[in-house]
Amino acid sequence: MYRSIVCALQYVVITRPDIAFSVNKIFQFMHKPSDLHFKAVKRILRYLKGTLGYGIQFIRSPKFLLEGFSDASWGSDSDDRRSTSSYCVFLGGNPISWSSRKQQVVLRSTAEAKYRSLAHVTAEMVWIQSLLSELGASTKGKALLWCDSSAVVAVAGNPVMHLKFKHVELDLFFVREKVAQGVFQVGHVPSHEQVADVLT
């Protein structure tokens, strides 16, 4: 029963990003759920019942701009100290893609965790740009990547290799390449305006 409810909740996340983090957490215990996990599932279901009117509303916007917000919570899992990455992508001011997931490796700093999340949203936005191109739609200007870490923003546009980022070297070069090609621009967003924070 636990498995079927959690799998159904994954479909609900498609239109309800506000539960993405919670569903990600309960999904990690598919093999051996405890009473605590069943209680968490019931709580999510009660929340959904009480917020039936919530959802995504698309609005017409004169700016057809692609923007991505990325965030990470460093070492947030108390069992294995892996971080949680999250991102939210907007097209013309409307949310079109979001993710909240546990990172695959243990990282040694907040900056590394946030940079890995920045690489995830960059890859997603490259795919979205490709899809838009296939559909004959083009966005206005460079795609914008927003992060609330000044260190990550500084490193994204700097060709010098920094020692504290050596553990995410491939992600580092992937993002830098897209910035150097003029496809993306990385900017700083204050933490209180970080849209992806709710997903961590």
Q: How far apart are CA 127 and CA 119, in angstroms?
A: 13
Q: With pLDDT > 90 as the criterion, what percentage of the chain qualifies?
A: 36
**pTM as predicted:** 0.81
Average model confidence (pLDDT) across the chain: 85
Residue 80's alpha-carbon distances to 26, 77, 83, 107, 131, in angstroms, are: 15, 6, 9, 11, 36
Question: Tokens standing for 147?
Answer: 């992060």
Q: Rounded to a whole number, what is the distance in angstroms from the first to the last CA of the chain?
A: 26
39-78 pLDDT, tens digit each: 999 999 999 999 998 888 888 888 889 999 998 876 656 5
| Assigned fold of 66-199 | Nucleotidyltransferase; domain 5 (3.30.420)
pLDDT higher than 60, residue 134: yes
73-110 pLDDT, tens digit each: 766 565 666 778 889 999 999 999 998 887 767 766 77
The predicted pLDDT at position 165 comes to 56
Q: Taking the CB of residue 131, how many other CB atoms lie within 10 A of it? A: 10
The predicted pLDDT at position 178 comes to 86
3-49 pLDDT, tens digit each: 899 999 999 998 898 898 899 889 888 888 899 999 999 999 999 99
Q: Are 60 and 167 contacting, i.e. CB atoms less than 8 angstroms apart?
A: no
Task: Write the DSSP string, 123-186.
Answer: HHHHHHHHHHHHTT---SSSEEEEES-HHHHHHHT--SPPGGGGGGHHHHHHHHHHHHTTSEEE
